Amino acid sequence: MEKRKRIGSQRTLRKTALVIEGNNILGRNIINCLEAKGNWDIIIVSNTPLNYWQYTSRCEYIQMDLNKPDAIKMQQEKLQKVTHVFFGSYNQKQALTDKPEFNLQLFENLVLGIEKIAPLFEHITFIQKDKAYDLHFGRIKQIVSNKEYQYFSPSFFYNFYSLQEDFLRKQSIGKKWSWTSLRPNILIGSAIDNPTNIATQIAVYATLCRELNIPMSFPGNIRNYETTVHVTDIELLAKSMEYVSLEDSCKGEIFNITNGDSLRWKELWVKICEYFGVAVGEPHDFSLAVYMKDKNTLWKETCEKHQLTNDNITRILQWSYSDFIFSDVYDIFFDSGKLRKLGFKEIEPDSFESFKRMFDKLKANHIIPHYLLNEYIVSYSKNHQERVIQIT
């Protein structure tokens, strides 16, 4: 196949993005980000038909199962123009031991296939998330900074991100293409049907507290309530993905990416309660996964009362995820200064605004109610002064 040279600035040349899994929260938002730039042609790949087809004519959709080794080759004619790959997908298996090799194989099929059939292939940006630091296995010993690379060593506590990173480092040696990894913390963003969207879970829980006229208790103990939390707005993450894909200084590097502020759950919880017009309850160490088991009837009644569109959402949401998020008893500080030193200046100075945008979108899509204006509720809490909250 003839090699072609590209002349011009990385940010002005027309490029072709291959976005893996257009149905998930990350895929949708990177597509929206690239569309807004205007100089990207976009190919969307998903194993299932797109359920969010609101993209422009610059987007082309290919249904593809990357678990098949020849999946890329079978679509060579359409994919040979790809210059950049954006990858933030994984397959959830039931057993912990099933995940690493299973997701590595999918990743290898993608990269090995693209480098063979796409002569202009330049870069792959992939998402590792906070699990790359083994946060899902409990306490870590230090501030979460971009650690030095260590070659993968098998152990009981390993994850597929380590395998994928190791593969990219070795496979890219001597090649014309490069890679960059981004590690966000808790993702907040606009994918309403994402079962692990913490903002949606909080919104549903708050709505039920409102309907039951009970305080909204933080689902964790006082230690959980006082921990520091960093979140990553999904739109900010999408912008950072595009940025690192075009910057030479970001090649072969790993970056944390968070909003830029730092707050405690007890501070954020008060603002969330104010938004929904519910009393701030005391922290209680209980499981939302257990609490929500018998709430589907109540949710259906709420949907009928307020003419909402999704009367099965309490069953769809993965409440064990919120249990995991609210169970952390350690302050975690995600150091995202490395990327900003290399020129990425985007921040979200108030993480509550990320939650609020998501709550507003849920209202606009009739997932949660629009409550009447000028209603008042008095909130009592030992940790907060008595206050009167006006719903806006």
Write the pLDDT tens digit of every residue in 231-253: 999 999 999 999 999 999 999 99
Q: Is 111 left (phi over 0), alpha (psi -120 to 50) or beta?
A: alpha
Which residue ranges of the chain lie beneath pLDDT 50? Answer: 1-4, 7-8, 94-97, 136-144, 148-157, 373-392
Instruction: Give the global pTM.
Output: 0.84
Write the pLDDT tens digit of every residue in 339-361: 999 999 999 989 999 999 999 99
User: Residue 140 has what pLDDT?
Assistant: 47
User: Residue 57 has what pLDDT?
Assistant: 57
Q: What does CATH list as the number for 190-230+261-330+346-390? A: 3.40.50.720
| 3-class DSSP string for 9-55 | CCCCCCEEEEEECCCCHHHHHHHHHHHHHCCEEEEEEECCCCCCCCC
Q: What is the C-alpha separation between 218 and 326, in angstroms, rounded?
A: 8
What φ, ψ does residue 104 adopt, rounded to 5°? Answer: -65, -40
Q: What is the C-alpha separation between 248 and 299, in angstroms, rounded?
A: 50
Specify the domain boundaries for CATH 3.40.50.720 within the chain.
15-184, 190-230+261-330+346-390
Domain spanning 15-184: CATH superfamily: NAD(P)-binding Rossmann-like Domain (3.40.50.720)
Write the pLDDT tens digit of every residue in 86-118: 998 756 554 444 555 667 888 899 999 999 999
- C-alpha distances out from residue 340 to 195, 250, 259, 261, 354, Å: 31, 11, 11, 14, 20
